Structures are given as C-alpha cells and as structure tokens.
A and B are shown apart, each in its own frame.
Chain A
Amino acid sequence: MTAITSPTATVDPYAPGAPAPARRFLNHLNPLAKVGAVLPAMVLLIFVRDLATPLWFTAIAYALIVIGARLTARTAALLFLAVPLGVIAIGFGFSLWVDASGVDDTAPFLQIGGWTLFSGAVQIGFATALRLASILALALIGGLTTTGPDLVRAGIQHLRVPYRIGYTALAAYRFVPRFGYELSVIRAAHRVRGQHGGRGPFARIARGWGYIVPLLAGAIRHAERVALAMDARAFGAHPTRTERHLVPFRTRDVVFIVLFITASATIFALTFPWQL
C-alpha cells in the first residue's frame, strides 16, 4: 500500500557485509583498528608539501584495499576512475590560484596571451591534489570494508559511546528511504498545487525551501512515534544491554595497527617531507 511499502532501499544499511573469504583480511578487522591505524598518517599528511609522501601512502592504501577487500565494480570505478580524475581536476584547478610571484622562476607550463601558468604552480597544485587523494585513500581502507551497524556496535563496545545513542542511529537508518520517498511525494504535491513557477536556481531554491517544513514535520512526528515504541520495549532500562553481535578487538587488530604505524613512520623518515 502506498503509505507503508516505502520503496525498498537500493542500499540496505543493515545488510551484513557479505561473508568475506579469510583472504580479504580487511573485512575481518575491528572497524576501530582500521580507523586508529590510519589516523596518525592522515593528520601528518596535512603538513606535508612534497609529491613523494602522498604517493607512497596512496600506493599503500590502494595495495591494502586491492589485496584485503572485495573489489566490486563500484569500488573499482571509485579507485581507478573517480580518484585519478579528481586528482587531475583539482591539480590543475589549484595551480590556477597559486601566487605566480612565488613560482615565476620555474619553466612556463602554458602561455595564453600575457598570462603564464608556471610549472612550479602546476607542481604545487598537484602536490595538493595528491595530498587530498592520499588522505581520502587512507580513509577508504576502513570505509570500504566496514558496515554502519558494525561501526556503531564497535563504538558502543569499545569507545563507551552510550548505547542509547548508538541504537538511535541504527533506528534512524530506517528513516532514510522513508524520507526520500516522502520528499518525492511532497514535490509532486507541490507541483500539483501549481507551485511549479519558474526555472533557474533561485526559483529552485524557493521551491526547495517549501519542502523543508512538511518534510521535517512529517519526519519528526514519525520519530516521536518510534520513540514511544522503543520506550514501550524497555529501551534504556539498564545502563547496558545484552549484545548478541560482538565486534571483538583481537590480537590481529593490534598487529594491524602496529604494522601500519611502523610503515607510516618509515615512510615519513625516508621522505622526510618537512623543510625544517
């Protein structure tokens, strides 16, 4: 029936990560281990200015993902198409904004009329783009191999995230397809009222503004009903709750963290990317 069979979500956020073979080791690590291992490198990369360091980290991240995670067509497209294209676009994009007076002693890369793009600027642009790409690639190690519910459970079990907040998030996954559907109905409803008026970005923004209150009002009423149902089922009765799905933190997680941080330190030591 229209109101209750919200269209099946294309992504099922609860779907367990399909059982991965043991070889895909990233899928068998604790989500927090994957975050913790890459975090120091990600922070340090912000301060890096050379080309080699980000290249190294991107290579390691890609290698780990290709070996240790299952590659779907989508992730392959992300890794080998979207990211390289993004690097090229951002690399050139940023080089246009570089202060020419700092790099005018390098060879010209491109000349249009009186305006010159120096190769020094291009180098800076690409260093930035690669740096951003390497930070993203490190994030993907955990991102591509963790499901939402596992992350929430790991947070509850190891980081003392209050379970009431974690389970609220799990309940909220259910809102996403529902709100998407409601939004499409609201748009159709406003169109029927003759609220279509006008093209262009401003008319579009004005229209979008009109959707917000009905969408949020419906969303919040729904949330209030869900809250009653959860209270009626003893949600929050005790400071903890029985956990059937354990997300253990094992020796292999420690090993992964230690190895990754050692590797990071080695790279930083070898390239030594800061001009002290």
Chain B
Amino acid sequence: MPLLRVRDLSLTHAGATHPSPSDVSFDVQPGEVVLVLGPSGSGKSTLTLALNGLIPQSVPADVAGTVEVRGRSTVDTPVAELSSDVAMVFQDPDAQLVTGTLLDEVAFALENLLLPVAEVLSRSEQALRRVGLWERRAWNPDRLSGGGRQRLAIACAVAMGSPLIVLDEPTANLDPQGIDDVYDALTDLVASGDRAVILVEHNLDAAMRFATRAIVLDQQGRLAFDGPVAEILREHTEELIAMGVWLPAATLAGRMLRERGVLDAETPLPLTPEELAGVVNGFGTLSERSETTRIERAEGGSKSSPMIVRSRNLSVKRGRAEVLHGIDLDISAGSLTAIVGANGAGKTTLIQALAGVVPPPRNRITIDGIDPGRASPRDLAARVGFVFQNPEHQFIAHTVFDELAHGLRLRGASDAEISDRVGEMLSRFGLEHKADVHPFLLSGGEKRRLSVGTALITRPAVLALDEPTFGQDRARADELLRLLKGLRSEGTTIVIVTHDLQLVADHTTHTVVLADGRVHAAGPTDELFATERLFETAGLRLPALHRALNPQLRGLLTETTR
C-alpha cells in the first residue's frame, strides 16, 4: 500500500469557480522526496492542505476524488488522527508557534494526542536533538532566527513520528543563512531514508540537493508532469518556463548559454551550480571579451548623471543605540540602487531615513533638493514614494480609486485632474476593472501593484522599496522587477533594500553594501560582484551560482543573464 494515494482529486475553494488542483492522481512511497512545482495559483498550497484533511475539515472546499493516507480517507478521518501520519510545515515560521518554550512547542502535538508524559519527553528530546536545538529547549522561540524557528517546526513534525512530512514553501520568508539552516536539517532527515517528504518550493537551487521526483501542476491546476526531477527539468525546460515555473539558476544560465550557441544542444542542461561550473569551465577565453564590454558599460552608466540622493555624515539612533554611523552616500539620478547587508546591518534604518519615514537628523540628507529632516510629510510624499513590505499596511481608503486619489487630494488637485491621473495609473497597472473594489480584496500581486501606484501618483523623482520581493513568489517578484525597469526607463530613481543577491546581480545598476551600520562598499553592481571576497567580508553569501564559478566565468554569466 502506498503511503499516500491521490485519485482524480479536484478541489474547489468556497466561492471559487474553477477547481485547482484539478483531476490530479499520484502515489507517494516511503523514502521519496517529491517536489511540487507549478505557477502561482495552480493549487499547490491547496493540494498540501488536502493531504492531512485540513481541507475540507478546517478550510471549507469542495472535494471531488479521494486522498488516502495509509488507506484512510482524509475526508472522514479527523485531522487529529491523521496528524500522526502526515505532518505539516508552513511558510510563516511565526504562524506555527503556540507555546512559550522550544520544549513545550515540540511537546504540544504529543500532549494533544494524550501520550504519557515520559513518552512526550523522550520523543521531544529526540526530535530537538535531531535538528540541533536540544541545548536551547528552555528558550522562548522568539529568540531563534527565522531559520531556527523553521527548524523547530521541522522538529515538531519529526516528533510526531509521521512517515510523511509536507512542507509548503518553508524557506520563502528566510534570509540566506536561514535557508541554509532549514535545508541542512532537511538533508539530514532525508538521508536516513525513513520518511517521505513533499516539498512545495520556488527556490529550487537548494531543493535540488535531495529531491528525487517532481510533480508539476499547470496554470489550470492539472497534472502536467510527474517523474524523476532531473528528467523533468531537463526534458521539459521550455514548457516549464512557458508555464511560469521557476527553474534552478544554473539551469536558466545553461539554457542561455545554449541559446547563444556557447553550449551545444547535446550537452544536458546543468541543474546545480557545480554542474554548471563543469560545463562552462571550457570557455575561459570567451570571458575576456565579456569582461571588457562589462566594464565599458559600467562606466557608461555612471558617467555624468547628477546625484539625486546625498547623505553626509549621517548617524541615526534607534532607541539608545546608534545604528548608523557616519554614512556618506550618493545615489545618481536614474539609477536602480540596491542596499544589501546582513540582518541588523541597518538597511531598513537607512532607507527609512533617506525617505524620511522616520525623520532623520537635520542637514545630513538631501533628496531631490529637500531635507527629509525638515520637510513636511506632504512635501516629502511629493518627492519620494515609499513602498512598504506589506502593501496592506499602507492602504488608507475603501476603494482602489480613492486609494490612488488620496495623494492628489491632499495636494488639492482638481477633480478633473484627479480622475485623469488616477485613470491613467489604473490602466497602467491593469486595475481599471477594480477601481471600486476594496483594496484588501485584491490578489497579492494586484495589492503590490496598487501600493507602487499610490507611491507614484504624485510623480515623485525617487521611489524607495523595503524588501519588495520578500516572501513573495518568483512570478510576482518578476512582475515587480519588470515594473521597476519600466519606471526607471522613464527617469525615476529607484532604491531597494533586498536580501536576494541574485536579484541584485541581475537587475540593479548600483549596490550599497552595509555592514554594522557603516558603508562597507558602494559602486556599480558589476564592479562589486567582480571584487573578490567583498560580500563575504560583509557577512553575506553570494548566490549559489556565483559561489560555484570563478570571477572570470561570473563575468560571462552576468553578461548572459541580462
């Protein structure tokens, strides 16, 4: 009997018109590591919720077809009973914590199952040791990093002894260190071969380490492919890209090389950075050519554009401690600048000071000709748009139209002008038919576009975004980047804070590296990425691709991915 048996499964959320997933069948055997792929909205999360009966028992939805765990139907076996067979790890580590200490947290499910105290303790100890958290069992989980908390969630799953562990984007909210933490714990778990894992993940680079099989859902939620992961990624590359499914960075790079004729069509596409390095190592000579063009381009970019943001000797206090120490910074008009740095380096503090979100000290900053330390919020809003990480935080009005009109009304624009400019913005962001909808009822991607729209409606010269792609799926991140590119070509200067160095390498013109509240390095992105050990000394880790390749080959790569 397979561990999990899914037959002709269609799930329709209450109020939805189409099922997603739709008519899906597959089996999972012990020891398998199944990667579930599919574009956003294809029903991956919905599918995972059905595997332990949360759908339909906790989340109302229409179920057609069957899901059986060790022969028990998930429709009429209580979730609680299924929990010892199927354990879940969700995306937001914060939303899975219930108790006050690590030990209580792992024991929570076992206590609910009425196990005797001695067994609760021994199982909890085993699980915590397995993820390396036993020493910290008395801690409040708040003290753990995001990666640590996600490891705790894995320990909770392990403690229940479930032979099947389902993880829905367990690393989407984590920084690079946290992602490594989680995958180390998972690699460990899989290595012992005693459990099956079902993993929904957009970040394939890390998952390639141990996935054995891939299941791909298409946009309509139908099963598109099912088979060994390497075979599917290599043989259906084009279909997957067309679907909007993300591939390992190495595969994308290999595909570009193939398009440019550097790699012949016979060579299988690389799936990991190591494989890519092996494939590309033959092309050392090519990289010289690209090296020269790259430098020319960098110079061309920074030639004569005036500086639009300037800070001199900027120090900022938060609470009693000084967080930023004497920052000197210039950002040229029309650039797309990324601010990067390890956790706590002061990135958020810096971008908030520059944009005047938290009033900075006076006479230290000029942005588009004004001092955010003195300017009124209204003047500031006219010159700098700030986009918060969670769009909902900045919505003020009850309709999309009013949301966009707000900034104009504050400045006393006439009704005619307002309806003109709002109309323009609505059509630009594809929100025309949503003008009268409550902003909270938009989809995630639409909310993001609206939040950028509200920041842009007053036509500010500078747009600042704090971790705009954090916790978003790749498709939405990509949509946002296309949007930013368009804005930049119209002359808007863009500053973003991000943890995603692959994004920085691929899309930005300039980079500022912060370390411990000081500028560690600043300059054109290409140059910084070409400098040996610059990011490592700031406590960052380069994207997997960059780590696998030497600087020369890297030059070739930035060339191709642009």
Contact = CB atoms under 8 A, between A and B. Distances in A.
A236 interface: yes
Interface stretch (A60-68, A109-117, A120-128, A166-174): A166-174
Contact of B173 (A1, A193, A241): A1
Contacts of A15: 100, 140
B295 interface: no
B109 interface: yes
A185 B466 CA distance: 12
Contacts of A197: 378, 410
Given A1-B173, A192-B377, A237 B96 contact: no
A112 to B, nearest CB: 46
A8 interface: yes
Interface string B94-135: 111111110010011111111111001100000000000000
B396 A190 contact: yes
B440 interface: yes
A230 B109 CA distance: 8
Residue of A3, A171, A191, A193 ringed by the most chain B CB atoms within 10 A: A193
Contact of B352 (A6, A188, A222, A232): A188
Interface stretch (A42-50, A100-108, A210-218, A259-267): A210-218
Given A193-B381, A196-B378, A188 B357 contact: yes
Interface stretch (B79-87, B189-197, B326-334): B79-87
A193 B388 CA distance: 11
Interface residues of A, number: 58
B562 to A, nearest CB: 28
Interface string A1-21: 111111011001111000000
B94 A232 contact: no
Given A1-B174, A237-B80, A244 B111 contact: yes
Interface stretch (B51-59, B473-481, B505-513): B51-59
Contacts of A226: 95-98
Contact of B393 (A6, A174, A185, A240): A185
A73 interface: no
Contact of A1 (B121, B146, B378): B146
A186 interface: yes
A185 to B, nearest CB: 5
B467 interface: yes
Contacts of B352: 188
A22 interface: no
B88 A229 contact: yes
A2 B81 contact: no
Interface string B257-284: 0000000000000000000000000000
Contact of B99 (A14, A210, A225, A236): A14
Interface in A183-206: 185-186, 188-197
Given A214-B393, A232-B88, A227 B58 contact: yes
B142 A231 contact: no
Interface residues on B, range: 35 or more
A194 B100 contact: no
Given A1-B174, A189-B393, A192-B355, A232 B386 contact: no
Contact of A235 (B84, B112, B358): B112
Contact of B499 (A1, A5, A14, A244): A1
Interface in B381-424: 381, 386, 388-390, 392-396, 406-407, 410
A232 B83 contact: yes
Contacts of B175: 1
Contacts, number: 202
A99 interface: no
Contacts of A213: 440
Contacts of A214: 392-393, 395
Residue of A12, A170, A231 ringed by the most chain B CB atoms within 10 A: A231
B348 interface: yes
A174 B80 contact: no
Given A167-B98, A170-B100, A196-B377, A237 B113 contact: yes
A218 B395 CA distance: 12
Interface in A220-265: 222, 225-238, 240-244
A31 interface: no
Nearest to A238: B114
A191 B466 CA distance: 16
A142 interface: no
A191 to B, nearest CB: 6
Nearest to A14: B100
B121 to A, nearest CB: 8
B343 interface: yes
Contact of B377 (A191, A217, A231, A244): A191
A218 B390 contact: yes
Contacts of B517: none
Interface in B53-87: 54, 57-59, 78-81, 83-84, 87
Interface in B121-164: 121, 140, 142-143, 145-146, 149, 156, 160
B470 interface: yes
A192 B394 contact: yes
Contacts of A233: 83, 98, 108-109, 112, 156, 160
Residue of B121, B175, B390 ringed by the most chain A CB atoms within 10 A: B390
A178 interface: yes
A225 B90 contact: yes
B410 to A, nearest CB: 5
Contact of A237 (B78, B388, B471): B78
Nearest to B358: A188
A271 B268 CA distance: 96
Given A192-B381, A196-B377, A241-B112, 12 more contacts: A2-B348, A188-B352, A194-B406, A226-B97, A227-B58, A229-B88, A232-B79, A233-B98, A237-B113, A238-B114, A242-B114, A244-B117
Interface of A: 1-6, 8-9, 12-15, 149, 167, 170-171, 173-174, 177-178, 182, 185-186, 188-197, 210, 213-214, 217-218, 222, 225-238, 240-244
Query: Closest 9 interchain pairs by CB?
Result: A14-B100, A237-B80, A225-B95, A233-B109, A189-B394, A234-B80, A194-B381, A234-B112, A242-B111
7 contacts: A2-B348, A2-B467, A171-B99, A218-B390, A229-B88, A234-B160, A244-B111
